[in-house]
Structure 1
Amino acid sequence: MNKCLFLVLLFVSLSGNAADIKPFPRAKISVEQWQGYFDSVAKEFGETKRVYEEHNLVVFSDDAQRANIAFTTINHPAHPAWVTRYVTQDNESVYVAQIGYFAGEEPPFAKLFKDYAKLNEKVKEHMGLEAWDK
């Protein structure tokens, strides 16, 4: 993904509601859980929807949590899966955190998750933030 895309994915947010960052206890979920969460996010944050056909992703923004939720589309090797990236902080540091879920095969999801972790490192370098993976 290019520099402009990761900045858009991380920082463009329009909504005032909040999504559940960790809706399930484990990363491996069912297709029905994936679809239910996608439907919920699409309903709540539909006005923020951005489609990145070249990356086979649909991204929604949650301004309340400074989060972006990137869902794979049917042609993505990790589909069905999503990665949520959000900005969080403790007393002294600000972090780009991420969490993800998959209902398909784990290896393509792991690659997607690692690709986002690399973007987090670029954001960390660019913005002076810490990167943190769950």
Structure 2
Amino acid sequence: MKYLLSLLFIILLPGTVYGEDLGYAGYNKEGQSVGEKLSELKGDKSFNVYEQGGWTIASSQDGVMYSFTPENHPAHPAYVERRVIEREGAVYIDMSARCGASKAACDDLVRSFQELNKKIIQNMGG
């Protein structure tokens, strides 16, 4: 079985889109804030919320993980949501994020998670 990496980015970032296509279309003021999302997940019994290396992590049994940036992170306040999905024998990681920092800091955050996702897929034999 061949493992594939599929990144679906629904990134809500300030600023405009520049030359590099990281899969998002710019800033969207609508929707839930980073803090509101964290509060919601803390109240959701299907998520385990814990601290790891300064990051706040919320994970569920069904393969959903939110990673919230520490206060000293350049992209703070931000979170990255990843979902492990299996379709027709292939494993995908769908990813979305919300970031309230500068475009450059948010782009760096997205790139770091893209690299992490690639490593995860490689370790799975993909």
- Using structure 1 for the length normalisation, give the TM-score: 0.65
2:76 is equivalent to residue 75 of structure 1: no
Identity %: 21
Counterparts of residues 1-134 of structure 1 (less than 5 Å)? 27-28=12-13, 33-45=33-45, 48-53=48-53, 56-64=54-62, 66-129=63-126
Partner amino acid for 1:68?
Answer: M
User: How many correspondences in the alignment?
Assistant: 103
Runs of 5+ in structure 2 lacking a partner? 1-9, 14-27
Query: Which structure has the larger Rg?
Result: 2
Quick one: higher RCO (CA 8 Å, sep 6+), 1 or 2? 2
- Using structure 2 for the length normalisation, give the TM-score: 0.68
Instruction: After the TM superposition, list the runs of 4 or more consecutive aligned residues in structure 1 that deviate by more than 2 angstroms.
Output: 89-92
Cα gap change, 1:46/1:90 in structure 2, threshold over 3 Å: closer, same or farther?
A: closer
Runs of 5+ in structure 1 lacking a partner? 1-24, 130-134
Asked if the contact 1:46–1:60 (Cα under 8 Å) also holds between the matched residues in 2, the reply is: no
Counterpart Cα distance in 2 of 1:82 and 1:58: 9
Q: Cα deviation per residue 1:60-102 (whole Å; 9 max; x = unaligned)?
A: 10223x0110001211110000001110132242112211111
Task: Say what the alpha-carbon RMSD is for the aligned residues.
Answer: 2.6
